[in-house]
Amino acid sequence: MKIILAKDVETLGHKGDVVTVSDGYARNYLVPKGMALVASRGALKQAEQMRRAREEALRKAKDDAVAQVALLGSSPVYISARAGEDGKLFGSVTKNDIARAVQDQLEQEVDARQVRLDESLRRLGTFSIEIHLHEEVNALVSVEVIAHEDEA
């Protein structure tokens, strides 16, 4: 039976896709749960509109991510941390610290899950950190970990 997916279904496809499944799967599970529509002539037109809307949303998200790359790479982000004489930090700089610094200093909304950091930063210095903005778009941000100035 041909159906049109009304929602993303992990094993079948995305919203608006026309797929063929067994009659029982369609009648007993997908259609009653509102996950699919039976493929009629009118529904096929609706599926085409859903597919176009999804493609437009994906294209817009990618364009926004590309525009954000230039803003993120424009200037370095400074993170102040307490460090010993040898430049080793008392603690570490984490993904959350980097995301917060980007939001505060560059005024760009970045989630900590987007920050690609294998291991927390544990020393002073300049680091190039990758931020995953979109499936196809990553940005490099220069993060400078500087020694915290104690106020006397």
The domain containing residue 27 runs over which residues?
Answer: 2-60
- Mean pLDDT for back-to-back runs of 10 residues, the chain (152 residues): 89 88 93 90 81 88 87 88 88 92 89 91 92 89 85 44
Residues 37 and 10 in one domain: yes
pLDDT value for 71? 85
pTM over 0.75: no
Q: What is the pLDDT of residue 136?
A: 87
DSSP track, 112-136: GGGEE-SS-EEESEEEEEEEEEETT
27 is a domain residue: yes
Nearest Cα neighbor of 13 from 46, 47, 45 is 47
Structure-block tokens of residue 124: 């002073």
**The two three-digit tokens of residue 56, written as one number:** 């437009």
CATH number at residue 118: 3.10.430.100
pLDDT value of position 115: 92
CATH classification of the domain holding 18: 3.40.5.10
Task: With CA atoms as reference, report the closest residue to 107 among 136, 75, 133, 79.
Answer: 75
Indicate the SS3 state at residue 145: strand
Work out how many domains the chain is built from and give that number.
2
